[in-house]
Amino acid sequence: MTDPTRVRRHAERIRELVASVVRTQIKDPRLGMITITDARITADLREATVFYTVLGDAAAQAATAAALESAKGLLRSTVGKALGLRHAPTLMFVQDEVLEHAKHIDELLAAARESDAEVQRIAAGARFAGEAQPYRVDHEPEQEAEADDDSVPAGREDQS
């Protein structure tokens, strides 16, 4: 059984190594503005998934994916030597969709801000579904003042 800390450490090291090799050793003109965002490795340390983002349109993203596929052997060799494992993990590259998710969230927040004025307009004419004060006070304030008097209670006056 592999230690989860060791797996996490290897995944972090793979991310750093792939980013370094992509920046310094791969000279493929198809490689666009790429950022290695994350790496995950299986518990048996045999397969690693590397997540990346690319700035640009769909053509730039496809070209970068092709460049990474062609450089997969060099990257696997470098990772295997640096990690010192018996078997170099196979690398799989997956385009990270963080930017698309962030853009979608921004659009949702902008729509919420626009509809906030409409919500305020509707709320101005709203009424409570039940009572305005759901926690009723069962006793009156005048009754409390009478009970706080130092006088004899009402039922005890004639027994003296």
- 143 occurs within a structural domain: no
CATH number of the domain encompassing residue 67: 3.30.300.20
Q: Report, as an integer, the average pLDDT of 33-41.
A: 93
Residue with tokens 């130092």: 150
Q: Report, as an integer, the average pLDDT of 32-52.
A: 93
Q: How far apart are CA 57 and CA 147, in angstroms?
A: 80
- Give the DSSP H or E segment for 100: helix 98-124
Contact 79/48 with Cβ under 8 angstroms?
yes
Backbone region of residue 14 per phi and psi (left: phi > 0; alpha: psi in -120 to 50; beta: other values)? alpha
Give the confidence band of 112 by pLDDT, cuts at 50, 70, 90.
confident
The pLDDT score that the predictor gives to residue 160 is 47
Q: Is the pLDDT of residue 83 over 70?
A: yes
Residue 25: domain span: 4-96
- 27 occurs within a structural domain: yes
- 34 occurs within a structural domain: yes
Considering the chain, what percentage of its residues have pLDDT values greater than 90? Answer: 46
- 104 occurs within a structural domain: no
The pLDDT score that the predictor gives to residue 154 is 57
- Domains identified in the chain, total number: 1
DSSP state, residue 44: T
The pLDDT score that the predictor gives to residue 113 is 77
